[in-house]
Structure 1
Amino acid sequence: MFSDKANKLFQEVIEKYHVINTVDQSFENPYDRNSHLIEHLLYRKCWIDTVQWHYEDIIRDPNIEPVAALTLKRQIDASNQDRTDMVEYIDSYFLEKYKEVVPHNNATINTESPAWAIDRLSILALKIFHMHEEATREEASQDHRNACQKKLDVLLEQRIDLSTALDQLLSDIASGDKYMKVYKQMKMYNDDELNPVLRAANK
Structure 2
Amino acid sequence: MNFTENAWRIFNQSIEHYHKLDRVDQEIKNPYPNHSIEHLLYLKNWIDTVQWHLEDLIRDPKIDPIEALELKRKIDASNQERTDRVENLDGWFLEKFKDVNILSEAKINTESPAWALDRFSILALKIYHMNMEVNREDASTTHIQNCKEKLSILKEQHKDLSIAIEELLEDYKHGRKYMKVYKQMKMYNDEDLNPILYNKK
The one-letter code of the counterpart of 1:186 is M
* 1:72 to partner: Cα distance: 0.4
- For 1:3, the equivalent position in structure 2 comes to 4
Superposed displacement of residue 124, structure 1: 0.2
Work out the CA distance in 2 between the residues paired with 1:174 and 1:134: 40
**Residues 101-112 of structure 1: pairs in structure 2 closer than 5 A:** 101-112=100-111
Secondary structure of the structure 2 residue equivalent to 1:201: coil
How far 1:142 moved relative to its partner?
A: 1.0
Q: Deviations over 1:51-85 (max 9, x none)?
A: 00000000000010111000000000000000000
- Offset, 1:114: 0.1
Consecutive aligned runs of 4 or more in structure 1 exceeding 2 Å deviation: none
Give the letter aligned to residue 167 of structure 2.
Q
1:1-203 equivalences in 2 (<5 Å):
1-34=2-35, 37-202=36-201
For residue 130 of structure 1, what is the amino acid of its counterpart?
H
Between the two proteins, the alignment pairs up a number of residues equal to: 200
Residue by residue over 1:79-116, the C-alpha shift from the partner in whole angstroms, topping out at 9 and shown as x without a partner, is: 00000000000000000000001210000011000000
TM-score, scaled to structure 2 = 0.98
RMSD of aligned alpha carbons? 0.6
Amino acid at match of 2:40: L
Tell me, in whole angstroms, the C-alpha distance in 2 between the residues paired with 1:84 and 1:134: 29
Any gaps of 5 or more consecutive residues in structure 1? none
What residue identity is the alignment partner of 1:121? Answer: F
Unaligned runs of 5+ in 2: none
SS at match of 2:54: helix
CA distance in 1, matches of 2:33, 2:100: 27
TM-score (ref. length: structure 1): 0.97
Q: Which amino acid aligns with 1:76?
A: I
What CA distance in whole angstroms lies between the structure 1 residues aligned with 2:147 and 2:184? 36
